Amino acid sequence: MATLKYSRQRERIKDFLMTRKDHPTADIVYTNVRKQDPNISLGTVYRNLTLLADIGEINRLRVGDGVDHFDADTSPHYHFVCTECGSVTDLEMDSIESIIEVAGANFEGHIQGHVTHFYGTCSHCTSISPH
């Protein structure tokens, strides 16, 4: 595995992601980091997001909307996806890690992890859309 070298672009991508709690997409990272670093290319954003996810410094979220979201908070937690506005937010909730044991009970392979996200209507969309 190649040794990592410092990159200003990578640092700014990580720094930006740490300021956000809304799990931005690569494109949103790109348009924002470009404010500080106008010459950064979209390919560099994608490459570094993938690299950071591979080394575990960030998480890649696939919530089923066809676009990858990224999260600088790598502590175990779950996400809520609003089917009205598409927002992705953190959920404060007790651990449900025990579902891995439930799933593994009658299974012959080896379960290493799970992906769970919840969907519905967020509080903002509940208040603005009647019915």
Partner DNA sequence: TTGAAAACAGTAATTATTACTATTTTTATT
Partner DNA sequence: AATAAAAATAGTAATAATTACTGTTTTCAA
- Binding footprint of its own copies on the chain (CB under 8 A): 62, 64, 78, 80, 82-83, 91-94, 96, 99-100, 102-103, 105-126
CA–CA distance, 47 with 102 (Å, rounded to integer): 37
Least CB distance from residue 39 to DNA, whole Å?
Answer: 5
Provide the token pair at 35: 């404010």
- Comparing C-alpha atoms, which of 93, 87, 53, 48 is closest to residue 73? 53
Please pick, from the candidates 31, 41, 83, 129, the single residue that binds DNA as defined by CB under 7 A. 41
Nearer CB in complex with DNA: 3/116: 3
Burial label for 49, CB within 10 Å (0-12, 13-18, 19+), is buried
Could you tell which of DNA, its own copies, none binds residue 107, using a CB distance below 5 to 8 A set by kind?
its own copies
- Binding flag, residue 87, DNA (CB under 7 A): no
